[in-house]
Amino acid sequence: MPENRYETVPGGRRPRPGQEHFAAEVDEGGLGAVDAVKSDAAPTSLWRDAWLQMRRRPMFWVAATIILLVITVAAFPSWFTSVHPRFDCELAKSLAGPEPGHPFGFDKQGCDIYARTIYGARASVLVGVMSTAMVVIIGTIMGAVAGYYSGWFDVVLSRITDIFFAIPLVLAAIVIMSITTNRTSFTVALVLASFGWTSIARITRGTVLSVKNNEFVTAARSLGMGRGRILVRHVMPNSSAPIIVYATVALGTFIVAEATLSFLGIGLPPSTVSWGGDIAQAQRAIRQAPEILFYPAAGLALTVLGFIMMGDVVRDALDPKARTR
């Protein structure tokens, strides 16, 4: 306000008579909006924020639909076809085209390709789930113990991890499975998990090292809580985000590894219907009927794509740098 609008009076200054005064309303300054914020509201958790972010992304729903469909097919194949993939075969229909009730046609043995594609999901998904579960258990324990207790625990377990990390997963699985006589889904999963836990062990170790020095861990230690209890109740729950992300992507990787072993003839036995075995059988007749290779390969690719897409969505949702606040 200009100086001529004021006059000097004993004890200070006051506006000249007749001058109008204007004062901004409270709402004009935005204070009403600030006061409307509930400062005592409970903060949202990491998992709730992640869920709110994931459900807004179309990729999440596409990946979830694919995964749900694949799991349903693997668990209840009889819901999708009444044809048995091994016993309802006729050599007279070898490499025959589609017909009513058999939309994909027949393979070289006269078996229904659609039925074999449906039943092939069970073996591949089962091996992938079991391998991922074993890898998470082994790798999480090794990484958590090495990162939290440090000292000679870290030195010994880290060197063991380095030794296994230097061995290629598929090559080691080929060598072990080639000398194995009892080739079942559990055997394949156990072999893959025996050499595939190193990555998650390293991820877990690094995450535990960054979490164990936080204030809440120090507070729990000052209250007299034991180290093992702190690890289980405080450190691991706050280190689980990268483990979940890796497990989601690794599941698709192990499905591909099982298909590779079955394709080479050293994975699941021929009596077990699997996508890798069907792809190996289809290459013998690829010149006469290339479509019999397409269907099992498409099922394998679609399944792996679903898990990889879900892993990307979960990673973006759980990454603190990517989350909006």
- pLDDT tens for each residue of 6-34: 666 666 566 666 555 555 554 454 555 55
Q: Mean per-residue pLDDT for 230-247?
A: 83
**Helices 198-211 & 151-165, crossing angle to 10 degrees?**
150
What is the three-class DSSP state of 88? coil
Q: Mean per-residue pLDDT for 164-169?
A: 85
Pick 48-318's CATH classification: 3.30.420.10, 1.10.10.10, 3.30.750.24, 1.10.3720.10.
Answer: 1.10.3720.10
Confidence (pLDDT) at 232:
82
DSSP classification of residue 84: -
Greatest Cα pair distance in the chain: 118
| Percent of the chain whose predicted confidence (pLDDT) is above 90 | 4
Mapping DSSP onto H, E and C, the string for 20-58 reads CCCCCCCHHHCHHHHHCCCCCCCCCCHHHHHHHHHCCCH
What's the gap between Cα 115 and its chain centre? 28
CA 2/CA 20 separation, integer angstroms: 13
CA 108/CA 101 separation, integer angstroms: 18
Question: Are 112 and 98 a contacting pair, CB within 8 Å?
Answer: no
Which residues 6+ apart lie within 8 Å of 87 measured at CB? none
| 110 torsion bin: left (phi>0), alpha (psi -120 to 50), beta (else) | left
> Is beta strand 6-9 parallel, antiparallel or unpaired with respect to 12-15?
antiparallel
CA 222/CA 227 separation, integer angstroms: 11
Chain mean pLDDT for the chain: 79
- pLDDT tens for each residue of 98-115: 778 778 878 777 888 888
- pLDDT tens for each residue of 250-269: 888 888 888 888 888 888 88
> Residue 302 — φ and ψ, nearest 5°?
-65, -40
Weakest-pLDDT range from 37-46, 96-105, 114-123, 175-184 = 37-46
Confidence (pLDDT) at 247:
87
Domain boundaries, the chain: 48-318
Token output for 38: 């509930």
On the question of pLDDT at 56 being above 60, the answer is yes
On the question of pLDDT at 59 being above 50, the answer is yes
Q: How confident is the model at residue 290 (pLDDT cuts 50, 70, 90)?
A: confident
List C-alpha distances in Å: 42 to 6, 48, 52, 53, 229. 50, 12, 16, 19, 26
Confidence (pLDDT) at 245:
84
Q: How confident is the model at residue 65 (pLDDT cuts 50, 70, 90)?
A: very high
Q: Mean per-residue pLDDT for 58-83?
A: 88
Confidence (pLDDT) at 157:
85
Sign of CA pseudo-dihedral 46, 51, 52, 56: positive
- pLDDT tens for each residue of 220-235: 778 777 777 888 888 8
Amino acid at 226: G
Which residues 6+ apart lie within 8 Å of 91 measured at CB? 109, 110
CA 294/CA 107 separation, integer angstroms: 12
CA 96/CA 100 separation, integer angstroms: 12
Q: How confident is the model at residue 38 (pLDDT cuts 50, 70, 90)?
A: low
List C-alpha distances in Å: 206 to 62, 140, 144, 162, 250. 32, 11, 9, 14, 18
